[in-house]
Structure 1
Amino acid sequence: MLLSIGGYAGHKYELKGKVTDATTKLALSGVVVTNLQTNERKSTDREGNYQIQVDAENTTLEFSYLGYMKQRIQAKGKTRVNVAMVQDNRTLEEVVVRGYAPQAKTSVVGSAQVVAALSGQATNLKVRRMVYVPNQNQESYQKIKENKFINPLKEPLSTFAVDVDAASYSNVRRFIDAGSLPDKDAVRVEEMINYFQYQVEGPKHGEPVNILTELTKAPWNDAHQLMRVTLKAKDIPTDKLKASNLVFLIDVSGSMMGPGRLPLVKSSLKMLVDQLRDIDRVAIVTYAGSAGVKLESTSGSQKMKIKTAIDELEAGGSTAGAAGIKKAYEIARQNLIKGGNNRIILTSDGDFNVGESSDESMEELIGKESKSGVFLTVLGYGMGNLKDSKMETLADKGHGNYAYIDNISEARKAMVTEFGGTLFTVAKDVKIQVEFNPNYVQAYRLVGYENRLLEAEDFNNDQKMGGDMGVGHVVTALYEIVPVGVNSTMVGTVDPLKYQRNSTKYIEVRGNGELATVKFRYKEPDGEKSKLQQQVVQAKVADLNKVSEDLLFATAVAELGLLLRDSDFKQQANFDSLIARAKAAKGVDNEGYRAEFIRMAENARDLSKTRL
């Protein structure tokens, strides 16, 4: 050891290490590592790793992260330093400020962000700032009642609004990375499937959306079939995108204080700012106890001005979310670009507690405001008090999408990699309706989309909202099918009806061999009348090893969702099978998302063994 240390003496070298939470053992991303001798600073990556140049003889490293106690460590002679940081759970911080008052005061309770202008002599005021420590058991999720198998003789039509949200996947990943299985209602299978990009040919002849279908065997029950329906929105080069009028609506309440919240919001939005063009404009609205305008609408050419305004934000106070939303729409309308991309980007944990705050009242508010031509993108942050149900409702009613940002890599995916899809809508109110042929289909079940179901007549009703698709977005839906002649325990039976005509005679339709007809409607972003496209699915079943790489991978993601939900319809689903398929279908994975899924599935498998 002495020889090793001696070899480094007087030399500079790269020291490496990893930073984790002392309690949860989770990696901490964004921890600032400072060499106190040289003032060089580095930040930990998404896996908590860092590397920094040190001097073998005299180096002290400081590790700092909002919501955690600072640590200083002597790095002399060490080549690796791993640090477990301890959360700072103190609820009061004291700071001293210089103020003016007619008489001396020993303490003032309030926010350190606000110092009143007081007349009189100068005095030192001790200000106590409340630091919010969230209750870790206050997350809320909408109850999901899983879709059942349906007899096409009774209900031949399946209708739903498309959903490009992917928040559930990153939220589920957060649970598993923390060493626990997610709440079953946090698992929305369609959002897990749609987290990934799939190689689908874009539309032709000027259409905004193209459709692709495939049919194979269900991997969790080879007597059943699985039908894929995928829509692909057109791609548009960045320099051809319409000018944007953006409003960053930022929750700066007390619940946004701490790691994974406002600091991550700042980093995320600054990434987005880097993507803006000179023709784009950004305003910043914040809300805590009340709403205010932090930055008036500013050209995308003034990136430093916008970033400085973001950097100055601090968290504290209650959460007047409704007031913030109203103010953001007001600012967006004032700067409306006709024919442009007018959008609010809301960043919050959804924990509204001042003014209108129920899911119903927020839904009504957004429903009214969305008619102004301003779209809404919702980005969820934080853990322990995430109001997932409210965030999803806001996005659905605001003609936008919902993503959950749990680390800087996820922020880059939303703000950089999928920039066009996140911000620029090419088709709105997109609905899908599938008609199944009872000659071939005994029963069918839509996998996921439980909170996006529509009545059959809603498909042709342009007053009923559908989902929205952004530039390059891909939306996939899977149907599990019980073919005619298969004896399946998944299909329920009833006694023959006494007063109804019981007919087992199928009506032959034109085009023998048609399993189903898939139709979808959409509107142009500024249109009010929908357009229709459709495609027939032939009753030709491909072996699972002959289908596209994308469908093979999508089946693995769906199967994991069924297992994590402990679904009544999981049948013979198992972790080893889905992991093997995911590995076989990994394909070109430049961003590493599919490899990450495989690791997550393996971790979920191990965690499931401990579930009682």
Structure 2
Amino acid sequence: MKNVRLISLALSMLICFVSMAQEKTITGTVTDKSNLALPGVTIMVQKSKKATQTDFDGKYSIQAQTGDVLIFSYIGMNTQNVTVKQSNIINVILQENSNQLQEVVVVGYGTSEQEHNSYYRPVEKRRTSKPAREPKGKMVSLPVSSNYVQAAPSQNMIIRGTQSISSKNEPLYIVDGIPVKAKQFAKINPNDVQDVKVLKDIDATSIYGSRASNGVVIIDTKNGIYKNLTENELNEKLKIANNVQPVEPSQEDYNTFVENAFESPKTAPLSTFSIDVDNASYTNVRRFINNGQAVPKDAVRVEEMVNFFKYNYPQPKNSDPFSINTELSDSPWNSKNKVLKIGLQGKNIPTENLPASNLVFLIDVSGSMSDINKLPLLKQSLRILVNELRQKDKVAIVVYAGAAGLVLSPTAGDEKKTITDALEKLNAGGSTAGGAGIELAYKIATENFIKNGNNRVILATDGDFNVGSTSNSDMEKLIEEKRKTGVFLTCLGYGMGNYKDSKMETLADKGNGNYAYIDNIQEANRFLGKEFKGSMFAIAKDVKIQIEFNPKQIQAYRLIGYENRKLRPEDFKNDAIDAGELGSNHTVTALYEIIPAGVKSNYLNEQPDDLKYTKVKESSNNYNDELATIKFRYKKPDGDKSIEMVQVIENKAVVIEKASDDFKFSTAVAWFGLKLRDSKLISNKSSEDILKLARQGLSNDVEGYKAEFIRLIEAAKFDY
């Protein structure tokens, strides 16, 4: 008998072993019918707790066995079930759900006896003294999914009553007796829901008071999973479970600026500006659109949107650190005008040839950084950067809250566990001594300065400095002084709701630096992982561009974007004037809109008569074959003397149908940015036309960022 039991046990173990051995890693990509990648698709193994989501590129990986059923679900798409067979690769195309729920009609009842947890009083029974009124409205656009629900922050739920129809007529939301915010209510997993009730009028106010004057939506979950939590605990649990909650940008701060106007080459023959490799504005704009919010106009910096994307420019062929590339074609938004594209391509230096790095992480651990999309995301981001470091690199960590302190002295880049352990121990709390933190970080960086190396402070914060030097002008003076040490600056922005973009932009612009807004871990992986060399290693600094336009060919011109980067003509040769840096393998793109000579335009004022003292003697050479002459100045990363490059731009335009894909896509991005800013200088604001041009330029998109931009055009809301 004993032997029989042993044999049975052995067989059971063998069956388990075989079963486990059959489990394999299934990978694939999820797209829509247009072959665009879908990030955030939920993949579940049926009848198990295994689940995952697609990443930014629509890719996923999950453990499953042959015969298992994978469930693919996504808001607005039909759920699809796929059985795992022999292949380890399963690619799925999800189809749009034409029957997606648009409205839920709420039916009123007569006399009812219900039991509720009241926010104002303990559980009690109440009976309506008279029949409830007939329903007078509908709950609009309640997002529902059978397996998973994502935020739908753009959708308001309104129980319409006797008041006028307004987006402010929002009901009170109750989950297991606890009031929650609307955006958190929308995040509740439908699989957790046992029952949904809607109360109106006296049924609502008699239990929940005046807060329920617009009605109450009540959810009871299975087994009351939230019932024993406090209100704050419930809100925090919903926030963590669903990663990031969209917050209205009421406390966010952006620098205001006026869009560049058209200028005449007769009165302003030179256009001078600093390059800008920042792309924080694009990721911030993406965050607003993905959250279903209208984008604040001052959050849109067109040049940063254009420069988020990489273009197919050739590598430099000589000793200069970048190549110069120009292209002239039609303006897609003003049919009579032309657009001149100027592209720089930084030299790609192999990683093994990059200089040693002396990095100081300057991390904001103040109370405002406690949100899940701030310090927790920040830690994940910097771990990506740490993985790129070599033995010859070193990292120190400085933190600041009520005061600043050193939590990790300079440590070799191959001691990754020591560095990541120090990051993991950080917690948020206190006020924000940003100025003191900058002072200490630069002190550590200069004490460990590597000659001919990459010396850089990496500031990670929401920009909410509120102790010490708080004004942008104070911070500007401080960072300009620190720039003289030869230490570069990278600013990483996190969070929403109280985000201080203006301070981050000021610090990066004045500190020989660059600036990125990290809205999710995919963006952290792009900026700090895939584009590590371009983000962290400068190959040229103080790069300036100056263009002299030929008035014989050009009636007027305007620089698109770069409003905060414009320089005076005399600043071009002044080596004391700061300008932008260019990283290894980085690209920089600038666009000019041009009104050709002889074209009648509504964007031009009447030209003044020729003036007696400014009239220039006509040259015998009309330079008919030249559109402009472009000059560049740059310094080597450790240099103080600038080097000049000169190139003539020929007056040769092609129709936009024959323009390069890079021209089409970059102008589509600029066009979209101008529309978001409600530019008064574009005549065509059709989203359909922007979308069409972007699709025509969709190429060289291995990472899927351009395809994502197309989805943003389709999803964008406008507040005008």
TM-score range, shorter chain: 0.7 to 0.9
Q: CA separation in 1, counterparts of 2:180 and 2:279?
A: 32
- Percent of aligned pairs sharing the same letter: 51
Look up the match of 2:625: 513
Query: C-alpha displacement at 1:46, in angstroms?
Result: 5.3
Q: CA separation in 2, counterparts of 1:502 and 1:523?
A: 35
Matches within 5 A, 1:153-172: 153-172=266-285
Q: CA separation in 1, counterparts of 2:709 and 2:52?
A: 28
Look up the match of 1:415: 528
What SS is found at the alignment partner of 2:336?
strand
Of stretches 437-446 and 217-226 in structure 1, the one that deviates more from structure 2 is 217-226
Q: Determine which of 110, 120, 143 is the counterpart of 2:256.
A: 143
What SS is found at the alignment partner of 1:155?
coil
Query: C-alpha displacement at 1:568, in angstroms?
Result: 1.2
Query: C-alpha displacement at 1:44, in angstroms?
Result: 7.8
Look up the match of 2:695: 583
Look up the match of 1:570: 682
Q: Determine which of 449, 459, 462 is the counterpart of 2:575.
A: 462
Matches within 5 A, 1:301-380: 301-380=414-493
* Distance change (3 Å), C-alpha of 1:283 and 1:44: farther
Matches within 5 A, 1:221-260: 221-260=334-373
Kept in 2: contact 1:168–1:191 (CA 8 A): yes
Q: CA separation in 1, counterparts of 2:575 and 2:469?
A: 29
What SS is found at the alignment partner of 1:269?
helix
Kept in 2: contact 1:496–1:502 (CA 8 A): no
Q: CA separation in 1, counterparts of 2:39 and 2:404?
A: 31
What SS is found at the alignment partner of 2:284?
helix
Q: Determine which of 371, 377, 402 is the counterpart of 2:515.
A: 402
Kept in 2: contact 1:29–1:407 (CA 8 A): no
Larger RCO (CA within 8 A; separation ≥ 6): 1
Matches within 5 A, 1:545-560: 545-560=657-672
* Distance change (3 Å), C-alpha of 1:465 and 1:150: same
Matches within 5 A, 1:494-513: 496=609, 500=612, 507-509=619-621, 511-513=623-625
Q: CA separation in 2, counterparts of 1:394 and 1:264?
A: 21
- Aligned length in residues: 523
Query: C-alpha displacement at 1:368, in angstroms?
Result: 0.5
Look up the match of 2:164: none
Q: CA separation in 1, counterparts of 2:465 and 2:709?
A: 32
* Distance change (3 Å), C-alpha of 1:381 and 1:88: farther
Q: CA separation in 1, counterparts of 2:291 and 2:326?
A: 37
Query: C-alpha displacement at 1:41, in angstroms?
Result: 9.4
Kept in 1: contact 2:323–2:346 (CA 8 A): yes
Look up the match of 2:87: none
Query: C-alpha displacement at 1:573, in angstroms?
Result: 3.4
Query: C-alpha displacement at 1:572, in angstroms?
Result: 1.8
Q: CA separation in 2, counterparts of 1:572 and 1:263?
A: 43
Deviations 1:305-334 (A, max 9, x none): 111111111111111111111110011111
Kept in 1: contact 2:544–2:632 (CA 8 A): yes
Query: C-alpha displacement at 1:81, in angstroms?
Result: 3.4
Deviations 1:365-411 (A, max 9, x none): 00001111110000100001111011011011110100100011100
Kept in 1: contact 2:552–2:622 (CA 8 A): no
Matches within 5 A, 1:179-198: 179-198=292-311
Deviations 1:14-61 (A, max 9, x none): 999xxxxxxxxxx99899x9xxx99x8978855999887799xxxxxx
Kept in 2: contact 1:381–1:404 (CA 8 A): yes
Deviations 1:82-134 (A, max 9, x none): 25699989xxxxxxxxxxxxxxxxxxxxxxxxxxxxxxxxxxxxxx99x9999
What SS is found at the alignment partner of 1:482?
strand
TM-score (norm 2): 0.68
Deviations 1:447-474 (A, max 9, x none): 0000000000000111111111110111
Kept in 2: contact 1:439–1:506 (CA 8 A): no
Query: C-alpha displacement at 1:603, in angstroms?
Result: 1.1
What SS is found at the alignment partner of 1:386?
coil
Q: CA separation in 2, counterparts of 1:143 and 1:48?
A: 36
Matched, 1:281 2:281: no
Of stretches 411-420 and 43-52 in structure 1, the one that deviates more from structure 2 is 43-52
Kept in 2: contact 1:439–1:508 (CA 8 A): no
Larger Rg computed on CA atoms: 2
Look up the match of 2:147: 81
What SS is found at the alignment partner of 1:223?
coil
* Distance change (3 Å), C-alpha of 1:376 and 1:582: same
Query: C-alpha displacement at 1:251, in angstroms?
Result: 0.7
Q: Which 4+ residue blocks in structure 1 deviate beyond 3 angstroms?
A: 11-16, 27-31, 40-55, 83-89, 131-136, 494-497, 499-512
What SS is found at the alignment partner of 2:567?
coil
Counterpart of 2:668 in structure 1: which amino acid? Answer: A
Q: CA separation in 2, counterparts of 1:211 and 1:285?
A: 39
Matched, 1:262 2:328: no
Kept in 1: contact 2:548–2:630 (CA 8 A): yes
Q: CA separation in 2, counterparts of 1:50 and 1:183?
A: 33
TM-score (norm 1): 0.79
* Distance change (3 Å), C-alpha of 1:442 and 1:461: same
* Distance change (3 Å), C-alpha of 1:176 and 1:245: same
- The RMSD of aligned alpha carbons is 3.3
Q: CA separation in 2, counterparts of 1:389 and 1:508?
A: 49
Kept in 2: contact 1:281–1:300 (CA 8 A): yes
Task: For structure 1, list consecutive stretches of 5 or more residues without a partner in the other structure.
Answer: 1-10, 17-26, 56-78, 90-127
Q: CA separation in 1, counterparts of 2:64 and 2:403?
A: 46
Task: For structure 2, list consecutive stretches of 5 or more residues without a partner in the other structure.
Answer: 1-18, 28-37, 66-144, 152-174, 182-231, 240-244
Q: CA separation in 2, counterparts of 1:209 and 1:47?
A: 30
Of stretches 541-550 and 166-175 in structure 1, the one that deviates more from structure 2 is 541-550
Counterpart of 1:555 in structure 2: which amino acid? Answer: T
Kept in 1: contact 2:553–2:624 (CA 8 A): no
What SS is found at the alignment partner of 1:222?
coil
Q: CA separation in 1, counterparts of 2:409 and 2:428?
A: 20
Q: Determine which of 506, 522, 531 is the counterpart of 2:643.
A: 531
* Distance change (3 Å), C-alpha of 1:202 and 1:505: same
* Distance change (3 Å), C-alpha of 1:336 and 1:30: farther
